Amino acid sequence: MSDLPIRHRTYETPYTRTSAHTLARLLGGGLLVLAALLVAGTLLGPVGFAAIRYPIPGHGALMSQLVALDVFSVAIVAPLAVCAAVLVLRRHPLGGVLALAPSMYTAYMVPQYVLGPQYLRYDGNSEAFFPLQLALFVLGWTTALLAWQQIDPATWTPPGRRERLTGGVLIPLLAIVTFTRYAPAILDVAGTHPSAADYQEGPGYFWTIALLDLGVGLPAAVAAIAGMRHGSPWARKVALALSAWLALIGPAVAAMAISAWLRDVPGASAGQAATMTALGLLFAGLGLTLLTAVRPAASRARHKECENG
């Protein structure tokens, strides 16, 4: 007697629907709180009421960077987090994709606010606001994990030429080229007389970002290139997450360069600001290109979900 073929039921059970709704509410709510805390941090920081006084020079390179990041967070990152929350709560397939950008940006940027200042060298009170930074950091990586869980490459069509080129080659390659700038920078700071003004003011900022870029960003870029060439489904998610991260990090670095130029920081120039702005716009443009490459498949998946009730 031959075995009868087993039919696998593919529809969603009430339990999985409830679980999906719960995760969506957690992610959406987390993103809204994240946006609110980003705005609160900016209002309390040097851009707002200056209630938070970081132990760094008041008019140096580091202060110009923090001012730029605060402005960028309240003008770009917080509104993007709100938009992502709305999409997630409406169960739009692109909600999780969009949520990656503000979540990963926050988890990446907050550590430098805590590890960068020289608490024993300069006066300040940012230690008293550690709970705010801790909450932002926890919300950053938890919402990033929830957003990652929301993304399902199985609902996407097979990667087309544009997605393979953008997500598998251009974005990772541009990230690798960008990260190679650390070679001369590390040689400089490893010497007896480092020349970088921001490093002299607070070495912790440099080493925190260098650790994250070279220890997380660079391996992710290499993995995305290797995985996309082999057609691995996980590589599409890695490439998408990398592009979402760089789509905000690139413009944020450009904002810091512009701020340094406007505040007449030693070593800053209009040419450097223009170069970083062009690079930031390139990262943002490539991120949007990859997002639109998966959009048709996501839209069809949503339409099919609506038809099925």
How large is the greatest C-alpha to C-alpha distance in the chain, in angstroms? 85
Q: Which amino acid is at 213?
A: D
pTM, to two decimals: 0.85
> Region 102-122: what's the mean pLDDT?
94
How many alpha carbons fall within 13 Å on the CB side of residue 58? 5
The domain spans of the chain are: 20-307
> Region 279-289: what's the mean pLDDT?
88
pLDDT over 70 percentage in the chain: 89
Total residues belonging to the chain = 309
- Which residue in 173, 42, 168, 174 sits closest to 113, CA to CA? 42
- Calpha distance 234→218 (Å, rounded): 17
Buried-exposed string 170-199: b where 16+ CB fall within 10 A, e elsewhere: bbbebbeebeeebeeeeeebeeeebeebbb
- Which residue in 82, 69, 71 sits closest to 35, CA to CA? 82
Q: Which amino acid is at 65?
A: Q
Q: Which amino acid is at 117?
A: P
Instruction: Report the pLDDT value the prediction gives residue 100, as an integer from 0 to 100.
Output: 94
pLDDT confidence band for 152 (50 / 70 / 90):
confident
pLDDT over 90 percentage in the chain: 49
pLDDT tens by residue, 239-272: 888 888 989 999 999 999 999 999 888 888 899 9
User: How is residue 228 written in tokens?
Assistant: 């996309």
With a CB cutoff of 8 Å and minimum separation 6, the contacts of 184 are none
Please check the confidence at residue 89 and state whether its pLDDT lies above 50: yes
